[in-house]
Amino acid sequence: MRRIISLVAAMAMLISLGGITAAGAQGNGRPGITKTEIRVGGVASPVSVLNVPYADGFDGVQAYFDMVNKQGGVFGKKLKLVAQLDDAGAPSGNIRAIRSLVEEKKVFAVMPMMSNSFAGSSYLAQNNVPTFGINVDAGWCGTTVEQEAVEAAVKAGDLSAQCPRPSLFGEKGSFLCFTCPSSAPAFIAKQKGLTKGAIFTYTHPSSTKCSEGTEFAFDKFGIDLVFEDKSLEFGFTDVSSDVQAMKDAGVEFVATCMDFGGAFKISQGLKQAGVDDVVFYAPEGYRQSTIDKFGDQLNNWVFGLSWVPWQGKGQPKATKQYLAAMKKRGISPSEQSQAGWMNGMLLVEGLKRAGKDFTQASLIEAINGITDWTYNGMRPELDWDQDGHGAGREACTAYVEAIDGKFVPQFGKPGQPFVCFPENPLPDTLDEPYYKPLLPGEPDPAATVTP
């Protein structure tokens, strides 16, 4: 699939509650639409939950709305973010906040949804409410049973399987395969010439599920898994026994299915024990505030991204607009604020395609008809009719390494930051990647993969 399962996705709760319906929900109507406004509202988990700045998503949405409104809005209507609710990072809080947006605030769409627990996803799907946010939870696809059914089908080679919630639009698509093979960690190790790896997860089931894909790729591509610990709890402090075991095993490379903070504790433990050359793969934590705070302590960290890096040359206009908007507001760029910006982009594109008399239903239909969505070049293309709600045909990752207090793009080519491989299945080796965006005249290897 064309997206990286971020750290937070690895920890996301695989839960969705069913059987709840909004009183008087207008799934095919125009709630939140006035003569002058299109009113939306969002939900975020507090940073204290996983030390992830989910609320940054509001900044991204507002910044994009401000830009569009300055240009006259959409069909003469201004986009307005009328509510920014906090779900306390709890399933019950998520459901309450979502119901408040729909039933009390009467928003046209829920955005941004920036939560580590998307327990209210079933409610939104049942009521056909267009929803946009950062996909870090299986609820974007369906209930646990529904998501696992799609995942099983994909692993069995059936790429036609689709998530049953077409009204939910995660910024990287609405399907995450938690246990599918993950090429990114193995690719980094191969590029660095490393052969002895370690994997860490939390005890939460979704975190341990994430490790399965890394284990598979290590085995397939010749990385020896010499140490693994799946017993860590959130907030762990003591890693001394793990550090000693890794020293004894000669670990050269570490991949984690946890947040940046947890992985950093392991890295610091190694350095305090005199081991400072182990390479870490970080699926989460790429933000300017991280490098500003830790500087060269992050040397040998490589971050995997599903979007164009903020450093380097050849950035698309949309990325430059996002970065300029954050700078103007004095806000450090983050994955979460950029996801909010992307959510705004998709909403506006969908409204324009739906036409002046748009409804919630026609907006959903319009977006699901977009077959080549790249957020104006910010990420590899997404076909909402196929891999938007199902398995991707390729694995594309942009890599950034922390070097002496700076993020430096790696492994890609000028103007082609994404390193790609066919996916489902992966190739036999990682020796022949292709790069995106494609140059004029280059064939698209992913186009030959059919469901």
For the stretch 68-117, pLDDT in tens is: 999 999 999 999 999 999 999 999 999 999 999 999 999 999 999 999 88
Quote the DSSP letter at residue 417.
-
- Judge whether 130 and 360 are in contact, CB under 8 Å: yes
Name the residue among 53, 42, 60 with its Cα closest to residue 118: 42
Q: Please determine, looking at this structure, whether the domain spanning 7-178+323-367 carries the CATH number 3.40.50.2300.
A: yes
Determine the pLDDT at residue 449: 58
- Judge whether 141 and 389 are in contact, CB under 8 Å: yes
Q: In terms of pTM, does the model score above 0.75?
A: yes
Would you kindly state where each structural domain of the chain is located, as residue ranges? 7-178+323-367
Quote the DSSP letter at residue 298.
G
Q: Which two tokens stand for residue 442?
A: 């280059």
Name the residue among 261, 264, 286 with its Cα closest to residue 397: 286
Name the residue among 282, 52, 310, 312 with its Cα closest to residue 184: 282
**Alpha-carbon distance 329 to 335, whole Å?**
16
**Alpha-carbon distance 107 to 152, whole Å?**
35
**Alpha-carbon distance 159 to 170, whole Å?**
19
DSSP-based three-state secondary structure for 372: coil
Rg of the chain taking only CA atoms, in angstroms: 21
DSSP-based three-state secondary structure for 71: coil
Burial class (CB in 10 A: 0-12, 13-18, 19+), 217: buried
The low-confidence residues of the chain, meaning pLDDT below 70, are 1-28, 49, 448-451
Q: Rounded to an integer, what is the distance from CA 320 to the centroid of its chain?
A: 20
Determine the pLDDT at residue 397: 96
Determine the pLDDT at residue 312: 87
DSSP-based three-state secondary structure for 197: strand
| Phi-psi domain of 225 (left: phi exceeds 0; alpha: psi -120 through 50; beta: other) | beta
Determine the pLDDT at residue 11: 43
* Paired strand residues for 200: 229, 256
Determine the pLDDT at residue 9: 43
